[in-house]
Structure 1
């Protein structure tokens, strides 16, 4: 298996390349991303001024096309024509991986309809970076930006509060104080980390208990990536096995192992696994 030649072949292949760019520090770009951008006929970007800083740093001369949420539908016909004619086009966002809370999905779906090849050039992601430093469960649900309307925000957080996994959100500095009361209401007993300016000069990680959150006295600078922990069960305050749970266990005891029963009953219930396990042992000893 010759990995090097396979990689070179794909860089030269025509199609749409989804290229991840640094989320802050310009040194975080991959060698493959630089090579792909240099060989692109066009680069689609959100803000040409932001992208030009990166491209100038690495002497990338490919032509830029402004492609943001306000004009991406208008651009579709022209871009698809370029791709069908054999052009190589890269899609980048201002920072991170395109089409994740950024423009891109409309073009990608249009390429799928037109049988145009799409390639991923992986790299920096604020989501993965934030989860990696959180110390929370590696099982996570990425939501993105919160809804604009307050009632929509309330409804969404109520739904998300039942998920037993880490939750990841993007929040602008001007909105962070508005969502803190709702976070406290819906995620009691959990931990939270505010990741600000990841990989930039003023990088900051604020770790708190959700119950202890307070609004910021001054509007912070830079967008936040927020991670809320999975549900934290306090073994000392866990519920006792209900009679219905005990009856279910009695039906399972001769069909499943103690470990299997403990996993099934313990899932999404605030009952300590030790209590379930001990009850299973008690039933087995009685038999």
Structure 2
């Protein structure tokens, strides 16, 4: 049964709604998403068979229109006319948030050009779900699907290897197995989280160091979402303190503790904390 809200601010207006749907478990859908889908005159979807299962689960009878990467341009004029007539149209993908590595951007841009209102209905995303359980940096770069050509993949890896945050990819298990050698080459000294079948019955999460990463013995079903941890900043203990840092320490030694000075100076230098601490100790003992 669908629950409805009486809040006037939540009234479903005419326009295009980008509705997030479950990535596996059909219970992972918001009440607002259900309300919008029920009130939609049309629901654009990638595969009508998959979307029909979701709508039938919640007794939603809105009309489905297949809208996938092979026909989204062909559908464009028809959908824009429907929206201009004052209809409520929802766009969903097979799983997750539409237009994130799924069809949608072409229609969204056309709606924007025609002054048609576009509303996001937030919900599940494989990207944010994977990052949220990774334990890695909350600053991340989302790439999408791996390119098919290995040459392009290596070129991209070389660029990504210098990014500071973590990196999120979509990939098939077979392609993942073929890419392990390059992952180890470009992302050494990092950790990786491999997410398979998230929120589904056979969900699996593999956490390991890149160096110990092993291929799947057999190709599991579905796509993988992988998260590579942020680049580790290594401080070079061979670098010595600058004279300017030494002068700063000498000024601070009577005002702050050695620990506080060490923490402060280390923020702006690649000198190891141990070396800074030892210099502070030396200066303090000389006083």
* The one of 240, 245, 248 aligned to 2:237: 240
The offset of 1:152, in angstroms, is: 0.5
* Alpha-carbon shift at residue 31 of structure 1 (Å): 0.8
User: Structure 1 stretches of 5 or more lacking a match?
Assistant: none
Give the CA deviation at 1:252.
8.4
Mapping 1:108-147, distance limit 5 Å: 108-147=108-147
Cα pair distance change 1:46/1:262, threshold 3 Å: same
Q: For residues 138-194 of structure 1, what are the alpha-carbon distances to aligned partners after superposition, in whole Å with 9 as ceiling and x for unaligned?
A: 221111111111111001011101112111111112311111111111111111111
For the residue of structure 1 that corresponds to 2:27, the secondary structure is helix
**1:254-276 alpha-carbon deviations (Å, 9 max, x no partner):** 9xx9666533435xxxx54x258
Which of the numbers 7, 10, 15 marks the counterpart of 1:8? 10
Q: Structure 1 length as normaliser, TM-score?
A: 0.85
Q: For the aligned residues, what is the CA RMSD?
A: 2.8
Separation of aligned partners in 1, 2:243 and 2:147:
43
- Whether the aligned pair in 2 keeps the contact of 1:250 and 1:283 (CA below 8 Å) is no
- For 1:218 and 1:160, how far apart are their aligned partners in 2? 28
What is the DSSP-based 3-state SS (H/G/I as helix, E as strand, rest coil) of the residue aligned with 2:7? Answer: helix
The unaligned stretches of length 5 or more in structure 2 are 251-259
Q: Does the aligned pair in 2 maintain the 1:18–1:90 contact within 8 Å?
A: yes
Indicate the residue corresponding to 1:265 in structure 2.
269
Residue 123 of structure 1: CA displacement?
0.5
Q: Is the 8 A contact 1:262 1:276 kept in 2?
A: no
Matched with 1:168 is: 168
In the alignment, the residues of structure 1 paired with residue 71 and residue 244 of structure 2 have an alpha-carbon distance, to the nearest angstrom, of 57
Higher radius of gyration, 1 or 2: 2
How big is each residue's C-alpha offset from its partner over 1:15-71, in whole Å with a ceiling of 9 and x where there is no partner?
100000000000111111110001001111011111111011111111111111111
